[in-house]
Amino acid sequence: AQSVSQHNHHVILSEAASLELGCNYSYGGTVNLFWYVQYPGQHLQLLLKYFSGDPLVKGIKGFEAEFIKSKFSFNLRKPSVQWSDTAEYFCAGGLGNTGKLIFGQGTTLQVKP
């Protein structure tokens, strides 16, 4: 079955701490992977995406993610988080060229000032 799973459901960090959120996917075919962020009261925004090429993808606001095919993973990282990074983070997999997205369960990140 096609699925995307996120291991961390709720993460609490202090400012300046490093962040890594896990994401694993389970499906064959074309692999398109995304990380979206949902700030409180706002709509989902694209952080970064991977379609092909360099497996290390850099996104907005200092975020990056690495696609590791052998591990079926696409973990999100940021070397130093800020209070403004407090949000819900979703990993998603795109199904080929359909445009459909399968979302992970989401991770709530709380950054303490």
Partner 1 sequence: GAVVSQHPSRVICKSGTSVKIECRSLDFQATTMFWYRQFPKQSLMLMATSNEGSKATYEQGVEKDKFLINHASLTLSTLTVTSAHPEDSSFYICSAGRGDSTDTQYFGPGTRLTVL
By CB under 8 A, name the binding residues for partner 1: 32, 34, 36, 42-46, 49, 51, 90, 94, 97-106, 108
The distance of closest approach from Cβ of residue 18 to partner 1 in the complex, given in angstroms and rounded to an integer, is 25
Whole-number Å distance between alpha carbons of 78 and 101? 24
* Spatial separation of the C-alpha atoms in residues 64 and 77, rounded to whole Å: 5
Measured from the CB atom, the residue of 31 and 111 that comes closer to partner 1 is 31
Q: How far apart are CA 95 and CA 84, in angstroms?
A: 31
Q: Which is nearer to partner 1, 67 or 90 (CB)?
A: 90
Q: Of the two residues 31 and 81, which places its CB atom closer to partner 1 in the complex?
A: 31
Query: Measured between alpha carbons, how far is 104 from 84 in angstroms, rounded to an integer?
Result: 22
**What's the min distance (Å) between Cβ of 32 and partner 1?**
6
Query: What phi and psi, each to the nearest 5 degrees, are found at residue 85?
Result: -85, -5
The helix/strand/coil state of 70 is helix
Residue closer to partner 1, measured from CB, 24 or 32: 32
Amino acid at 113: P
Give the nearest distance from C-beta 113 to partner 1 in angstroms.
23
Smallest separation (angstroms) from partner 1 to the CB of 16:
27
